[in-house]
A and B are shown apart, each in its own frame.
Chain A
Amino acid sequence: MTATTTSARSDLSELGRSETALRTFLHGLPGVDQVGAEQRAAQLGTRSIKTTAKAQAIDLAIRMVDLTTLEGADTPGKVRALAAKALRPDPADPSCPHVGAVCVYPAMVPYVAEVLRGSAVHLASVATAFPSGQAPLEIKLADTRAAVAAGADEIDMVINRGAFLAGRYSEVYDEIVATKEACGDAHLKVILETGELATYDNVRRASWLAMLAGGDFIKTSTGKVPVAATLPVTLVMLEAVRDFRAATGRQVGVKPAGGIKTTKDAIKYLVMVNETVGADWLDPDWFRFGASSLLNDLLMQRTKLTTGVYSGPDYFTLD
Chain B
Amino acid sequence: MFEYAPAPESRSVVDLKPSYGLFIDGKFVDPTDGGSFKSINPASEEVLAEIAEAGAQDVERAVSAARKAYDKVWGPMPGRDRAKYLYRIARLIQERSRELAVLESLDNGKPIRESRDVDLPLVAAHFFYYAGWADKLGHAGFGSNPQPIGVAAQVIPWNFPLLMLAWKIAPALAAGNTVVLKPAETTPLTALLFAEICQQADLPAGVVNIVTGAGDTGRALVEHPGVDKVAFTGSTEVGRAIARSVAGTRKKLTLELGGKAANIVFDDAPIDQAVEGIVNGIFFNQGHVCCAGSRLLVQENVADRVLESLKRRMAHLRVGDPLDKNTDVGAINSAAQLERIRELSDAGSAEGAERWSPPCELPDRGFWFAPTIFTGVTQAHRIAREEIFGPVLSVLTFRTPAEAVEKANNTPYGLSAGIWTDKGSRILWMADRLRAGVVWANTFNKFDPTSPFGGYKESGYGREGGRHGLEGYLNV
In the complex the two chains form, what is the Cα distance from A5 to B308 in whole Å? 8
Q: Which of A36-44, A136-144, A308-316 contacts B (4 or more CB under 8 A)?
A: A36-44
Using Cβ atoms and an 8 Å threshold, which residues of chain A touch B277? Answer: 36
Among the stretches A52-60, A76-84, A124-132, A290-298, the one at the interface with B is: A52-60
Partner of B270, one of A36, A48, A60, A270: A36
Say which size band chain B's interface belongs to. Answer: 20 to 34
Q: Which residue of B lies closest to A42 (CB)?
A: B117
Decide: B308 and A36 in contact? CB cutoff 8 A: no
Q: B443–A279 contact, CB under 8 A? A: no
Contact check: which of B2, B269, B422, B443 meets A274 at CB < 8 Å? B2
0/1 string, A4-35, CB within 8 A of B gives 1: 11110000000000000000000000111101
Whether a CB of chain B sits under 8 angstroms from the CB of A186 is no
Residues of B contacting A174 in the complex (Cβ-Cβ under 8 angstroms): none
Q: Assess whether B5 is interfacial by the CB under 8 Å rule.
A: yes
The residue from B3, B274, B312, B442 contacting A53, defined by CB atoms under 8 A apart:
B3
Within 8 A of A (CB), among B306-331: 308, 312, 315-316, 325-326
> A51 contacts which chain B residues (CB < 8 A)?
5
CB of A1 within 8 A of CB of B308, answer no
Contact A279 B5 (CB under 8 A): no
Contact B2 A1 (CB under 8 A): no
Q: Chain B residues near A271 (CB, 8 Å)?
A: 2
B276 touches A50 (CB 8 A): no
> Which chain A residue has the least Cβ–Cβ distance from B272?
A239
Does A62 sit within 8 A of B, measured CB to CB? no
Is A33 a contact of B308 with CB atoms below 8 Å? no
Interchain CA distance A192-B251 in the complex, whole Å = 65
Over the window 268-308 of chain B, the binary record of Cβ atoms lying under 8 Å from chain A Cβ atoms (1 yes, 0 no) is 11111110110000000000000000000000000010001
Whether A50 pairs with B113 at a CB distance below 8 angstroms is no
CB distance from B9 to the nearest CB of A (A): 9
B5 touches A36 (CB 8 A): no
A119 is an interface residue with CB less than 8 A from chain B: no
How far apart sit A6 and B304, CA to CA, in the bound complex (Å)?
Answer: 10
Leading 3 A-B pairs by shortest Cβ distance:
A36-B273, A48-B7, A48-B325
Residue ranges of A at the interface with B (Cβ–Cβ < 8 Å): 1, 3-7, 30-33, 35-37, 39-40, 46-54, 56-57, 60, 239, 270-271, 274-275, 279, 282
Binding site for A on B (CB under 8 A): 1-7, 113, 117, 268-274, 276-277, 304, 308, 312, 315-316, 325-326, 358, 422, 442-443
What are 14 A-B interface contacts by the 8 Å CB criterion? A3-B308, A30-B270, A30-B272, A31-B268, A31-B270, A36-B272, A36-B276, A39-B276, A48-B325, A53-B3, A56-B2, A56-B3, A239-B272, A271-B2
